[in-house]
Amino acid sequence: KLITLGFKIVFISGTSESQRDVRVANLNRAGYYKWEKLILKEEADRGTTAQVYKTKKRTAVEAAGYRILGNMGDQWSDITGTHVGNRTFKLPNPMFYIS
């Protein structure tokens, strides 16, 4: 529905770029087939914390001319730091926590 309203969907994941095909398959299985960008962790980002990595990528998204209106994730690192957008939504995840 967001796409039909003109929103551009950008996914930022801590998944390694080498796992792109697996991540795309997972997104498809979850019902996601269209998005503007799928940003995955490159070798240069290795060793950075999740919060630093996500903040860096959100900053780059805004520098490319996008406005982040909504930001959601199952880890606090997804929605903390800077450039988090107008609204943040923390999804529950009882399986694991990234510190």
The confidence score (pLDDT) of residue 94 equals 81
The confidence score (pLDDT) of residue 90 equals 95
Whether residue 4 lies inside any domain: the answer is no
Q: Which domain holds residue 78?
A: 10-90
Whether residue 1 lies inside any domain: the answer is no
Whether residue 99 lies inside any domain: the answer is no
pLDDT in tens, 4-16: 999 999 999 999 9
The confidence score (pLDDT) of residue 61 equals 98
Q: Is the pTM for the entire model greater than 0.85?
A: yes
The confidence score (pLDDT) of residue 83 equals 95
CA distance 29 to 23: 10
CA angle 48, 51, 57 (to 5 degrees): 80
**Residue 25 carries which side chain, given as an amino acid letter?**
A
Whether residue 50 lies inside any domain: the answer is yes
Whether residue 14 lies inside any domain: the answer is yes
Task: Flag residues of the chain having pLDDT under 50.
Answer: none
Whether residue 80 lies inside any domain: the answer is yes
Whether residue 95 lies inside any domain: the answer is no
**Number of structural domains in the chain:** 1
Determine contact, residues 16/38, Cβ cutoff 8 Å.
no
Element (H, E) at 51: helix 50-63
